[in-house]
Amino acid sequence: MFERRPIYRETAKEYQKASKKEKKEILDYFVRITGLKNRNYAARLLRQHGKTIYVGKKNYLKADIAKKGKRPGRKKKFGEEELKLLKKVWEIENYMCGKRLKPILNEVLDNLLANGHLHGSPQAIENLRHISASSIDRLLKHERKKLEIKGRKGTKPGTLLKQQIAIRTWAEWDENCPGFMEIDLVAHEGGNRDFAQTLNMVDVWSGWTELVAIKNKASKWVREAIEKVQRRLPFDLRGIDSDTGAEFINHPLRDWCEKNQIKFTRGRSSRSNDNCYVEQKNYSIVRQNVGYFRYDTEEEVYYLNRLYAYLRLYANFFQPVMKMTEKRESEARCKKKHDENTIRKLWLLESSYVSEAQKERLTRLYKALDLFHLRQKITACQRKLFSLQKKKNVKNKNLEETVWNF
């Protein structure tokens, strides 16, 4: 490029002095060496070289064909203030992507503003209300951090009663009402045995999620946890679907379901995708909030349940669900469409299967929630759990050093 600049300048000087016929030949030569496709633009560059162009009364520019100008570009719509407010909302909403954050952004802003936890100019807040999902991802690109941690599978198949409990796969969920829930246990073993478990229950239709920490995977604790969830659900429990683990496939749980007229089904052995609705929540709800530590004491189970009491409200009222409504497959690609109504409570409020009393209780509970304080309580419980882990690790380390010295 540095060798071509003198050629460009000399060509422009010759072009300005040449006749009409000569200009055509010079222009052909200039277009050929520069690769410009628009001859009118090339001719204008040659004509304006060396001339003074006035901008206003006092300012002026001197045209140079060999210098590349900068495009002005679009003016930035989102500045530092918008980015600061967006980061705060993003942190409170647990660092979700732009496609999930955009549908719920206005509702989150209303909650934070109403409770006095968000301070910014009216113009900046109004700009955030009209931001797109792609702009959210672009602004937060340098803030995003990804942590990939793989867990262990601790489920052992239960052969008892398998032939008496019907199989249901992920493709057979066609109920158009809430109450049919997939259930699973998440182990907190930390690489050892005799540890706490988290019972994870997800409503297939609405995505409503419930969590209960139990001492271990004994069928007694599992059944008591399901009863606890049943009492606090904003809809009637109509059915449960589990994997083939012995903690679920047993007589007491089957008899309890029959007594309460709850449909009991199971997935196929070694087919985790049969329980895909609850499997995805095992990571996005449980693992991302409590990690892969070992929890085995009464105190840790207590704080796990305190955390889940806040987390169920946070996830069900302020975390959107992208529910697929349409899927088109072709030879080269697969296009999916998702429901714009991504809030669990809105699905429940619009359902005819939820009673008016349950809807009123759900609405009253939502209006009483403070998103910022809810997030603070979740963080406080997480810090307490991690401090218990730190104390336990120090105690185990001291015990190993004592044994070794002895």
Domains of the chain: 4-62 (no CATH), 80-139 (no CATH), 162-394 (3.30.420.10)
Q: What DSSP letter does each residue of 45-79 carry, written as one string?
A: HHHHTT-EEEETTTEEEE--TTSPPPP--PPPSS-
Structure tokens at 210: 């419930």
- Residue 209, strand partner residues: 202
> What pTM was computed for the model?
0.67
Length of the chain: 406
| 264, 239 Cβ separation under 8 angstroms | yes
User: pLDDT tens for residues 49-72?
Assistant: 777 766 666 666 666 666 665 555
Confidence class of residue 4 from pLDDT cuts 50, 70 and 90? low
Mean pLDDT, residues 271-287: 83
Query: What pLDDT does 397 receive?
Result: 56
| Statement: residue 132 has pLDDT above 50 | yes
Instruction: With CA atoms as reference, report the closest residue to 358 among 253, 241, 208, 242.
Output: 208
Give 339's Cβ-side CA count (13 Å radius).
15
| 374, 310 Cβ separation under 8 angstroms | yes
Q: How are strands ordered across the β-sheet holding 263-266?
A: 166-167, 263-266, 239-242, 180-188, 196-203, 209-214
| Statement: residue 24 has pLDDT above 90 | no
CA distance 46 to 11: 8
Query: What pLDDT does 307 receive?
Result: 93
Residue 365 Cα distances to 105, 158, 207, 358, 372, angstroms: 20, 39, 18, 11, 16
Task: Locate all alpha helices (DSSP H) within 150-233, ordered by sequence.
Answer: 219-232
Number of H helices, E strands in the chain: 15, 10
Looking up tokens 């609705």, which residue turns up?
A: 277
Of 76-90, 306-320, 331-345, the poorest mean pLDDT is in 331-345
SS percent in the chain: helix, strand, coil, step 5:
50, 15, 35
CA distance 3 to 348: 71
Percent of the chain with pLDDT over 90: 7
- Residue 188, strand partner residues: 196
User: pLDDT tens for residues 198-214?
Assistant: 989 888 888 888 999 98
Instruction: With CA atoms as reference, report the closest residue to 13 among 61, 66, 70.
Output: 66
Instruction: With CA atoms as reference, report the closest residue to 199 among 226, 230, 220, 238.
Output: 226
User: pLDDT tens for residues 367-393?
Assistant: 899 999 999 999 999 999 999 888 877
SS (H, E, C) 284-327: HHHHHHHCCCCCCCHHHHHHHHHHHHHHHHHHHHHCCCCCEEEE
Mean pLDDT, residues 348-363: 86
Query: What pLDDT does 142 receive?
Result: 81
Q: Counting beta carbons within 10 angstroms of the beta carbon of residue 46, is it exposed (0 to 12), middle (13 to 18) or buried (19 or more)?
A: buried
User: pLDDT tens for residues 179-202?
Assistant: 888 888 888 876 555 688 898 988
Listed in sequence order, the residues at least 6 apart from 154 whose beta carbon sits closer than 8 Å to its beta carbon are: 187, 189
Give the residue with greater pLDDT, 395 vs 123.
123
User: pLDDT tens for residues 163-174?
Assistant: 556 666 545 555
Of 71-75, 342-346, 372-376, the poorest mean pLDDT is in 71-75
Query: What pLDDT does 373 receive?
Result: 92
Confidence class of residue 162 from pLDDT cuts 50, 70 and 90? low
Confidence class of residue 311 from pLDDT cuts 50, 70 and 90? very high
Percent of the chain with pLDDT over 70: 80
Instruction: With CA atoms as reference, report the closest residue to 241 among 214, 216, 273.
Output: 273
Of 125-129, 151-155, 324-328, the poorest mean pLDDT is in 151-155
- Residue 356, strand partner residues: none
Average pLDDT of the chain, as a whole number: 80
